[in-house]
Chain A
Amino acid sequence: MDYFFELLFSGLTRGSIYALIALGYTMVYGIIGLINFAHGEIYMIGAFTALVVSSVLSIYGLPLLAILVLTVLAATVWAAAYGFTVERLAYRPLRNAPRLSPLISAIGMSIFLQNFVLLAQTSDFQPFPNLIPQFAFMEPYAAIIGSTDLIILTVAALMMILLTLTIKYTRTGQAMRATAQDQKMALLVGINVDKIISITFIIGSALAAIGGLLIASHIGQINCSIGFIAGIKAFTAAVLGGIGSIPGAVLGSFILGLTEAFATGYVSSDYEDVFAFALLVLILIFRPAGLLGKATIEKV
């Protein structure tokens, strides 16, 4: 039975990691209907910024708490700045272009950002400092669930709740929902659609940066190509849950994480991705718009 719980927590950790990235994917998709392939790279840039900033601060001998706070701040600020800039440069001019053009632009941006970090920093793997404190009260359970797993789970849950509240109850959130439903109509009622899209990118990128920081700290290493696989998996999770839906992204992420963990544990990790994608196909056959996505009925 222990084994079952161990796998359960492995899956939950993995799921929350996916969730932090998937939230950004799903928000962007919900608003402008674009698969933002560069999102995985934003996550990587967030993690890299965290590495650089925390290393500099620790060399200058700041206390641990100050390092933690400043690193989180710097990572989110810069990732958000990158997200904002990418949208302005590569997506906004293409808003009325054929549907696939922004997708290619996003692929190009993803290749560019990955190689930018490779050239500006290094292609080697870098050790990532363990920013998450090890709690003494978790020690007896360390074999099943570690402190970092606990933190990742909590942060992911918190982020999701905060995000849901923001979108439900703030003015910006309402404007976001309006823009997602109908851009033209939103413009007519006086919403600055450009600004709302920028804000969406900023929030999504900041979330990805927090994800990047937590994950890098969890596995203790990063390099410039970590964004790709994480991005693909998070995208899969977002689609599984119904792309554009925030609870859907989280649900999809957990299902994906748990499937992979149990497939590894009870079958074989050789085929963990096959199981994940097969599950995706199965779910989409029965619910073509994802688990929580609304099936749109097109009226003619």
Chain B
Amino acid sequence: MKFKNTCFILTTLALSLAVCLATGALAVEPIKIGVAGAHSGDLASYGLPTLKAAQLVVKDINEKGGINGAPIELIVGDDACKPEIASNTATKLVSAGVKAVIGHICSGATKAALPIYRDAKVLLISPSATTPSLTQSGEYPNFYRTIAADDAQARTEVDFTINILKVQKIAVIHDKGDYGKGLAEFARTFIEQSGKARVVLFEGVTPGAVDYSAVVQKIKHSGAEAVIFGGYHPEASKIVGQMRQKRMTTLFVSDDGVKDDTFIRVAGKDAEGVYATGPADVSKNPIALEYREKFKKTESADPGAFFDNAVAATLALANALAKAESIDQETMAKVLHNDKVATPFGAIQFDAKGEPIGIEFSIYQVQNGQYVQVR
């Protein structure tokens, strides 16, 4: 046993030596970039595709000779989507000397980590944190994202429900979570502002509760013609399922937490006709196709959520690194604001607050077991 251990240690040493020599041969200090998000835990399915996306893009850049001759080195930080861990992760990345970060994934974790990056003057591009206040509060000049904010999404949902579906009585339901409740509150405000429709019910459901029939009865009792739901797919499929069990035909409009194939898989035939907002369909964009193909080659699976957004974030960051005269937050920010960069979403740049220009939401509907873009 002891002998084996020694063997193991020796091999490890030899290997690390070899790696050191190999990287040493390049002789240029690599540019360190952090990738932070949920890489373990229940929400790993949101974090891992973004990590993979960053790795694929960086591999391409390094093969083409890196940024002005310097290779990019990725430093990975797992925050499990928990704010208390995210601040640890952020410190870890900052003390490792990263120049910029792709991430974090969840809004709560991002909020906890942002002040640390701001104080260390580290630039952040998130592929998936959608809470509006991250950009709109103006507190974080170092924050950018390659996804549209929740208020934009709520606006799309409400406009569609009122103007296209021509519905007057709407029930707004949420899952009491950061994302779902935030979205639902925006939806309520927009509906009230429009003056064309009424919010007849505003309620939160408890995620994981054994059944939702009481809430469903309440929706029915309220006389709502459509439900706008803010939250994720497990609750959505339960609510839709129970509504159909009670023979209700109320329309169901939801968000990109529901625009997930798992929703269709779980809800089965009850999913038919459900509307959900999601990032515009990019399946014909050459960059998106290229990276999706690469992902399938290495992982033999379809890329998951936020993959395209993470590709876009990494490409935008690489562009900023390449074109900025010096690698610091302010000069890179200038490039991000002024220079269009080709991404899976087309050419994008960022506005003064850090929101992407050129990434918008579309409406999808489940038709014959598939999400089809209807607007």
Contact = CB atoms under 8 A, between A and B. Distances in A.
Contact of B213 (A14, A228, A230): A14
Contacts of A228: 208
B211 to A, nearest CB: 6
B234 A221 contact: yes
B217 interface: yes
Given A225-B42, A273-B206, A142 B247 contact: yes
B249 to A, nearest CB: 11
A229 B241 contact: no
Nearest to B203: A269
Contacts of B42: 123, 225
B237 A226 contact: no
Interface in A16-32: 17-18
A218 B238 CA distance: 10
A264 B241 contact: no
Given A142-B246, A219-B241, A264-B215, A230 B45 contact: no
A10 B213 contact: yes
B169 interface: no
B268 A269 contact: no
Contacts of A108: none
Interface in B132-164: none
A14 B211 contact: yes
B62 interface: no
B28 interface: no
Given A221-B266, A270-B176, A264 B234 contact: no
A41 interface: no
Contacts of B25: none
Contacts of B245: 142, 146, 148
A11 B209 CA distance: 13
B218 A269 contact: yes
Contacts of B44: 123
Interface string B188-231: 00000000000000011110111101110110110000000000
Contacts of A264: 203, 214-215, 218
B23 interface: no
A276 to B, nearest CB: 10
Contacts of A126: 266
Contacts of B217: 3, 6-7, 10, 265
A220 B266 contact: yes
Given A125-B262, A146-B246, A270-B203, A11 B211 contact: no
B259 interface: no
B233 interface: yes
B265 interface: yes
Interface residues of A, number: 41
B242 interface: yes
A13 interface: yes
Given A221-B266, A269-B205, A269-B218, A230 B210 contact: yes
Main secondary structure of the interface of B (DSSP, over half): helix
A127 B238 CA distance: 11
A114 B176 CA distance: 24
Interface in B250-303: 262, 265-268, 270
B204 A10 contact: no
Contacts of A273: 206
Interface in A135-181: 142-143, 146, 148-149
B262 A215 contact: no
Interface in A246-273: 260-261, 264-265, 268-270, 272-273
A273 B205 CA distance: 10
Contacts of A127: 265-268
Nearest to A262: B214
A264 B214 CA distance: 6
A233 B210 contact: yes
Given A10-B217, A127-B265, A221-B234, A272 B206 contact: yes
A65 to B, nearest CB: 22
A7 B215 CA distance: 9
A218 B211 contact: yes
A221 B237 contact: yes
A298 interface: no
Given A221-B238, A223-B234, A268-B203, A17 B208 contact: no
A125 B214 contact: no
Contacts of B220: 6, 143
Contacts of A270: 176, 203-204
Contacts of B221: 3, 6, 265
A229 B42 CA distance: 16
Given A126-B266, A143-B247, A219-B241, A225 B211 contact: no
A123 B40 CA distance: 11
Given A124-B262, A127-B266, A270-B204, 10 more contacts: A17-B210, A17-B211, A125-B234, A127-B267, A143-B246, A215-B210, A220-B266, A225-B42, A225-B208, A264-B215
Interface of B: 42, 44-45, 176, 203-206, 208-211, 213-215, 217-218, 220-221, 233-234, 237-238, 241-242, 245-248, 262, 265-268, 270
- Which 4 interchain pairs have the tightest Cβ spacing? A264-B214, A10-B213, A261-B214, A10-B214
30 contacts: A7-B214, A11-B214, A14-B213, A123-B42, A124-B45, A124-B262, A127-B266, A143-B246, A143-B247, A143-B248, A146-B245, A219-B210, A219-B211, A219-B238, A220-B238, A220-B268, A221-B266, A221-B267, A225-B208, A226-B208, A229-B206, A229-B208, A229-B209, A233-B210, A260-B214, A264-B214, A269-B205, A269-B206, A269-B215, A269-B218
